[in-house]
Amino acid sequence: MPLVPMRQMLDEAAKGGYGVGAFNVNNMEQIQAIMEAARETKSPVVIQASRGARKYSNDKFLYHLMLAAAELYPEIPMALHLDHGNGFDTCKSAIELGFTSVMIDGSLLEDGKTPSDLKYNVEVTKKVVDFAHERGVTVEGEIGTLGGVEDGHGSGVSHLTDPQQAVEFVQKTGVDALAVAIGTSHGAYKFTSAPTEEVLKISLIRKIHELLPATHLVMHGSSSVPKELQDVVNKFGGKLKPTWGVPIKEIQEGIRNGVRKINVDTDSRLAVTGAIRKVFAETPDKFDPRDYLKPAREAMQKVIAERMTQFGQAGHAADYKAMSLEEMRGYYKKGPSGCGGGCCCGGKGKKK
């Protein structure tokens, strides 16, 4: 199956009432782990690369690894998504390379650190939307800012999404998906104790979904950072401080209220690091990269398969025939904000 537009994937998720995990990658083993998990659970999947990942692996290597995945797993719908594009040129280069979806994070200025204002966010997002939709490519935007910094991206300060600003932003930009800030953050150290409603505002998702029922919502910084993964890292020489992530039950509540894309990265990193540390600690004579990368890949696959099941996407890989980017171009031409009548709102701006 060719790479598919993420818009179609999220429309189908909305129809089915489930979420789709978006998993970050930097190398071949991570892509293999995700695709094996998708095959195991029969799940559609979003594979995403940050600017840091594109620099680390090189665009051409990354893209051709994705083409290989499409060839080897023809039954799995998958979208290749740019995570946290910092400006128009970054998004344009990803689209021209072959990404089927891009995120433009106009909540920050182009340095990826300084919070912007709504005017700037709307302008840069609309420019990306116009360019992307002409080519059938999906666009995710962001309103509000997450805490934490990852891959050099982030202001380090959380600014919760204002629901009324979210409405204005979607109306003016026509984005396909909207990342909202509800108290989550990038990286492993999200919360110093189990999060309560005071710090993790799932109620904010409910409000935004009421106002924007036809917009696909996105939860960033949504790794659950399970203690068992932390314990493996620390058991074999790591020094992670106690930390809490986003509970699965809260993510599932978000899915029930319009969240269709859930970003997960830290959980994968912990699984990989713990497995590698275990090999080095238990068999210090090993030096073949395959001796530690294979168990690392297996550990990541296990975590990803579990998340796919928890998010509800398991079993939905064969639900629909993938659209081409050319077909998606026609889809965007049929209605306001890119709604061609094939999505969850039936072309009427509200849920069926």
pLDDT computed for residue 352 by the predictor: 35
CA–CA gap between residue 84 and residue 186 (Å, rounded): 12
Residue 278 placed within a domain: yes
Written as six digits, the tokens of 99 are 């990404």
pLDDT computed for residue 184 by the predictor: 80
- Dihedral of alpha carbons 292, 294, 298, 300, sign: positive
Tally the domains of the chain.
Answer: 1
Ramachandran bin of 156, using left for φ above 0, alpha for ψ from -120 to 50, beta for the remaining angles: left
* Whether the predicted pLDDT of 293 surpasses 70: yes
CA–CA gap between residue 194 and residue 203 (Å, rounded): 17
Output 112 or 92, whichever has higher pLDDT: 92
* Whether the predicted pLDDT of 336 surpasses 60: no
* Whether the predicted pLDDT of 298 surpasses 60: yes
Residue 352 placed within a domain: no
pLDDT computed for residue 201 by the predictor: 86
Residue 32 placed within a domain: yes
* Whether the predicted pLDDT of 343 surpasses 60: no
Exposed (0-12), middle (13-18) or buried (19+): which is 97, by Cβ within 10 Å?
middle
pLDDT over 70 percentage in the chain: 90
CA–CA gap between residue 14 and residue 212 (Å, rounded): 13
pLDDT in tens, 4-24: 999 999 999 999 999 999 999
User: Is there a contact between 216 and 178 (Cβ–Cβ < 8 Å)?
Assistant: yes
Residue 339 placed within a domain: no
Residue 128 placed within a domain: yes
Residue 195 placed within a domain: yes
pLDDT computed for residue 155 by the predictor: 45
pLDDT computed for residue 344 by the predictor: 39
CA–CA gap between residue 66 and residue 56 (Å, rounded): 16
Active site residues: 83
pLDDT computed for residue 145 by the predictor: 77
* Whether the predicted pLDDT of 340 surpasses 50: no
User: Residue 20 forms beta bridges with which residues?
Assistant: 261
Q: Any idea which residue has 């910084």 for tokens? A: 221
Q: Any idea which residue has 């984005």 for tokens? A: 175
Q: Any idea which residue has 């996105």 for tokens? A: 218
Of 82, 73, 79, the C-alpha closest to 38 is 73
Domain CATH number, residue 240: 3.20.20.70
User: Is there a contact between 134 and 127 (Cβ–Cβ < 8 Å)?
Assistant: no
Distance of CA 162 to the CA centre of its chain: 21
Integer-rounded Cα Rg, in Å, for the chain is 19
pLDDT computed for residue 15 by the predictor: 97
Length of the chain: 352
Residue 334 placed within a domain: no
pLDDT over 90 percentage in the chain: 80
Q: Domain range holding 88?
A: 6-318
Residue 89 placed within a domain: yes
* Whether the predicted pLDDT of 25 surpasses 90: yes
pLDDT in tens, 174-214: 999 999 998 887 677 777 777 777 678 888 999 999 999 99
* Whether the predicted pLDDT of 148 surpasses 60: no
pLDDT computed for residue 197 by the predictor: 73
Output 340 or 283, whichever has higher pLDDT: 283
